[in-house]
């Protein structure tokens, strides 16, 4: 059993606590391909590229143990961090939002690429760690907040206004993050409608979630309103699978890198009101086993819904899991005209 020494100022001496068994350093599974090559113009802020030892040393330095309540799983493989940055094509001068920087292994890769990084971290101990770690650069700022409750738009606009190099730029940013699996859907819902702020969102998600979001299958129980939402606001793409052995502590599931290319408002499907549209979609799925003509009866009569379905080219007995995004858009527009 591998143990991790924890220095806790509240205790009189050094204690050892049993830990999840770590993979041998030379056996960490990689995602394949060569590591991202970096230029030498920017000085590495970490001083170490070996995330296996650097992560454990960082946790030891603060007497920390990953907290299950915060969904903390730290990346041990620097190549995965490189591939996250590559997936977003992070380059010099880019503004990047990172959610949950943890010990800063991904942060370091982003800064090494020349990016300006705003990190949002809920754990105050990790905030202190990365603030100290990257104190020598003015291209990094960390805020201690719960991401799902914070005002992302306000923070980004403030960053755009305060960063000299952005004053003549288009004012767009990217999101690159290894996020807690337990809040991934909340994060996706918060970020994807922000195409006026971000051009691309690159996330490390639980693989099952990644597949469900990117490759939904009609007429299955896995086809849900979130699939309509994701494709309404973005163009998602599954990149690579990341085996669970790359994390500490090791989760029970594998992960995957997913990119969401965000659409501009002008490129959204044409609906009179997005609020009305998603309200209709959610109503249709509230009772999935019912036919659409039944689940949407609060909007108009069954006969009117049947006619609208026919005009879209769908049978009157259609169920919500059988409708594509385009089908829902056409159906909504016809119903709202009644």
- CATH assignment at residue 327: 1.10.8.100
The CATH code of the domain that includes 215 is 3.40.50.150
Same-domain pairing of 92 and 241: yes
* Listed residues 244, 267, 290: the one ending a domain: 267
pLDDT reading at 56 higher than 80? no
Same-domain pairing of 146 and 98: yes
b/e map 244-254, b = 16+ CB within 10 Å:
bbbbbebbeeb
- pLDDT tier for residue 4 given thresholds of 50, 70 and 90: very low
**286 annotated as a binding-site residue:** no
Q: Are 302 and 293 in contact (CB under 8 A)?
A: yes
Angle of helix 207-214 relative to helix 184-191, nearest 10 degrees, comes to 40
In sequence order, what are the residues at sequence separation of 6 or more whose Cβ sits closer than 8 angstroms to the Cβ of residue 303?
Answer: none
| The pLDDT of residue 22 | 37
Same-domain pairing of 231 and 327: no
Same-domain pairing of 260 and 191: yes
The mean-pLDDT minimum among 119-123, 164-168, 316-320, 322-326 falls in 164-168
**86 annotated as a binding-site residue:** no
Same-domain pairing of 166 and 315: no
Same-domain pairing of 55 and 193: yes
Q: What is the pLDDT of residues 243-274, one digit of tens each?
A: 999 987 788 899 999 999 999 999 999 999 99
| The pLDDT of residue 54 | 63
**146 annotated as a binding-site residue:** yes
Same-domain pairing of 163 and 251: yes
**100 annotated as a binding-site residue:** yes
**178 annotated as a binding-site residue:** yes
- Total length of the chain: 338
What token pair was written down for 117? Answer: 């990084």
pTM for this prediction: 0.81
| The pLDDT of residue 289 | 78
Same-domain pairing of 290 and 224: no
**121 annotated as a binding-site residue:** yes
Count the domains in the chain: 2
Where in the sequence is the domain holding 285, given as residue range(s)? 274-336
């Amino acid at each position: 059993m591998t143990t991790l020494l924890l220095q806790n100022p509240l205790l009189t001496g050094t204690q050892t606590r049993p830990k999840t068994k770590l993979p041998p350093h030379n056996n960490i599974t990689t995602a394949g391909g060569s590591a991202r090559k970096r230029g030498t113009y920017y000085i590495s802020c970490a001083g170490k590229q070996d995330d296996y030892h650097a992560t454990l040393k960082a946790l030891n330095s603060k007497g920390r143990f990953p907290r299950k309540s915060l969904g903390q799983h730290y990346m041990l493989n620097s190549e995965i961090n490189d591939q996250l940055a590559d997936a977003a094509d992070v380059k010099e001068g880019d503004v990047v939002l990172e959610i949950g920087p943890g010990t800063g292994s991904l942060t370091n890769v982003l800064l090494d690429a020349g990016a300006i990084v705003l990190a949002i971290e809920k754990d105050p101990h990790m905030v202190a760690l990365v603030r100290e770690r990257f104190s020598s650069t003015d291209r990094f700022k960390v805020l201690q907040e719960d991401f799902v409750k914070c005002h992302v738009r306000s923070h980004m606009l403030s960053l755009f206004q305060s960063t000299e190099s952005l004053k003549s730029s288009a004012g767009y940013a990217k999101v690159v993050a290894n996020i807690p699996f337990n809040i991934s859907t909340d994060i996706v819902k918060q970020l994807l409608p922000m195409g006026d702020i971000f051009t691309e969102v690159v996330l490390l998600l639980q693989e099952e979630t990644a597949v469900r979001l990117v490759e939904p299958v009609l007429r299955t129980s896995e086809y849900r309103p979130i699939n309509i939402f994701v494709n309404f606001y973005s163009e998602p793409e599954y990149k690579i699978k990341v085996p669970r052995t790359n994390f500490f502590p090791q989760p029970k599931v594998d992960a995957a890198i997913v990119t969401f290319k965000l659409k501009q408002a002008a490129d959204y499907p044409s609906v009179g009101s997005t609020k009305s549209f998603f309200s209709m979609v959610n109503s249709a799925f509230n009772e999935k086993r019912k036919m659409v003509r039944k689940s949407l009866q609060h909007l108009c009569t069954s006969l009117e819904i049947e006619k609208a379905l026919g005009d879209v080219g769908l049978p009157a007995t259609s169920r919500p899991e059988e409708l594509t995004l385009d089908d829902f858009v056409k159906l909504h527009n016809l119903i709202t005209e009644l």
